[in-house]
Structure 1
Amino acid sequence: MRTIGSIRVQVVQFLDEIGGMAAFAGRFFRVVFQPPYEFREFIRQCYQIGNRSLLLVVVTGFIIGLVLTLQSRPTLIEFGALSWMPNMVGISIVREIGPVITALICAGRIASGIGAELGSMRVTEQIDAMEVSGTNPFKFLVTTRILATILMLPLLVLFADAIALFGSALVENIKGAMSFRLYFNTVFDALSYGDLVPATVKSFFFGFVIGLVGCYKGYYCKKGTAGVGKAANTAVVLASLLLFFVDFMTVFIADIFYDL
């Protein structure tokens, strides 16, 4: 009975969390187009989120391209299908691996960073001071960060895809004597708009989820330093779970449109 009761409590807490984030997202959409527009803060957040995540994303993408090619090469050689390597790697990275891995990496860095930053501001009563002084803290702190993640994550995904393909091409150039020009020509011939458009669209949703969860957990952080750490930790976990859900929904919807 205790187990059933604890499960019930956890389910209620999870649903309450989802409801709170839905209301938080609704508030974002209500104020995002209302003046004043915090352009300077938005540009600063784009720099903080994009530029400071670029090196991590580039290194991760390069290693993904190397590992995927090195692991797939023996199997393709066994079946005599080594010439399909650029097609397989290109489609896999552009469609799924690049966006998802990049989003998970950014969830670990960006969502936790936003959650900790806003959480510390809530604990030290800086957000309360902004409200008293007449500044709209939601507009200044939350809207700019969510918009920055929506804009920067697709750009980071493009960088990660390009570097991953370069890493794969490097392996084929060294082990298979395939030129870079031939490799990338084969990749671009295999890709179509049906591969690029869904991957790009879901990257925007990934950015929205990461920014929303990080801002929500930080903005409503509980008092105390322990609350800041909990906000940063739960922001990463919740953002990662929602990323997989969004990925499934986008792939499912795209599959329905392809069947029509």
Structure 2
Amino acid sequence: MTMFKSMLPTVRKKIVIKLGGSTLEGLNRAFFSNFKTLQQEGYDIIITHGGGPAINRELEKQQVSSAVLNGIRITNEEAINIVQSTLIGKVNPALVGQLNEAGIMAIGLNGFDGQLLQSEYLEQDTYGFVGKVTSVNTQLINTLCANHIVPVIACVGATVSGQALNINGDTVASDVALAIGAESLLLVTDVSGIRIEGEYQEEATPSLINQWIEEGHIYGGMIPKVEGAMQVLKAGVPSVQIVDDRLTGTVIVPSVNESFAKR
């Protein structure tokens, strides 16, 4: 029996959107309308999020000190309890509530739910209760997407024995994007992408970005963002975008020689 193309099930493309802590606290209407547009264009969307500012406020309130080393928050036993309760108990439900209110069906998840983010310690002696993802339950994500429900994933992993671990938000976003074969990863920040000499760039390649860093056009907090984006690209996600909360910004695609090398 032959099947006509129209009878074949269409595989919907997936986009992972990573919301940073500062962006989370003030999403505007344009974010939700652009989000719906992507859905109408046939994309399944998965959200991952951190919650740095909310965690910092809670740590301060409870007088728990927390240092950052190599961009990773050193997390002791008191701090992991605060990270877990803040992300899962406050930030995640608030975001899910905003999405539902905007008419976007969403459900809050974290590493414990259906073994979504199985994790192990990154370097316990150095970072404490900080984890790295060892496996992602893609079946759970795909099931929700197939039912037009947006998974909203807090960056808390879980060990086999049920210990919560704090995981870097960009790391979770890239791990999820790679696991589900996402077409693109959107890193939502408080700026509209990469700005060179006063102008936002619509597109960039790793070789251009490295040149801009050398020339001093990319500096400060944008350096870790673009370096993270280039790592995700290198790992196999076709495009990474650094965007603002209207979901517009800079698309980073492989350099020509790199894309040929992958074929």
Give the TM bin, normalised by the shorter chain. Answer: under 0.3
- TM-score, normalised with respect to structure 2: 0.27
* Structure with max Cα Rg: 1
| Structure having the larger proportion of residues in strand | 2
Higher relative contact order (CA 8 A, sep 6+): 1
| Structure having the larger proportion of residues in helix | 1
- TM-score, normalised with respect to structure 1: 0.28
